[in-house]
A and B are shown apart, each in its own frame.
Chain A
Amino acid sequence: MNLSQISQQLITLLSGIIPSYEKSFWHEQTELFGAIAEFDSMVIVTLIGEIEEQFDVVLDDDDISAENFESVASLSQLIYDNIDG
Chain B
Amino acid sequence: MMINMTAKFYSGNAGPLFQLKRSPENICAYIIYVTPLFEQANQTRHMQTRLALNAYQLGVESLIYDHYGCGDSGGELSQASLSLWQQDLIAQINAIKAKMAQDVPFNANPSSKPKPIYLSCLLSSALVLNSDIIALIDGLLLAQPEFNGKRFVQQFKRLALASNLTKTNNIEQNSTEIEIAGYVMQPSLLDELSQQTLTQYESIDKHCHWLEWSDSDQLPMARAKQQQLFSTKSSDSSLTVSAINDVKFWQSTELTLSEKMLSFEEQTLRNLLKEAGSTEQGGSC
Contact = CB atoms under 8 A, between A and B. Distances in A.
Interface stretch (B57-65, B244-252, B264-272): B244-252
Contact of B165 (A19, A43, A66): A66
16 contacts: A16-B251, A17-B252, A17-B253, A19-B253, A19-B254, A44-B158, A44-B162, A45-B159, A48-B155, A48-B158, A48-B162, A53-B223, A54-B220, A56-B221, A64-B161, A66-B166
Nearest to A66: B165
Interface string B204-226: 00000000000100001111000
Interface string B142-176: 00000000000001011101111110000000000
Given A50-B251, A61-B161, 9 more contacts: A17-B251, A19-B253, A19-B254, A40-B163, A42-B162, A44-B158, A48-B155, A49-B155, A66-B166
B251 A53 contact: no
Contacts of A33: 165
Interface of A: 12, 16-20, 33, 38, 40-46, 48-50, 52-54, 56, 61, 64-66, 69
A64 B165 CA distance: 7
A69 B220 CA distance: 23
Contacts of B248: 16-17
B91 interface: no
B165 A20 contact: no
Binding site secondary structure of chain A: helix
In this complex, which of B161, B162, B247, B248 has the most chain A Cβ atoms within 10 angstroms of its Cβ?
Answer: B162
A16 B155 contact: no
A16 B158 CA distance: 21
Interface string B19-42: 000000000000000000001000
Interface in B223-262: 223, 247-248, 251-254, 256
A58 to B, nearest CB: 10
Given A16-B247, A33-B165, A43 B253 contact: yes
B73 to A, nearest CB: 23
B181 interface: yes
Contacts of B163: 40-41
Contacts of B221: 53, 56
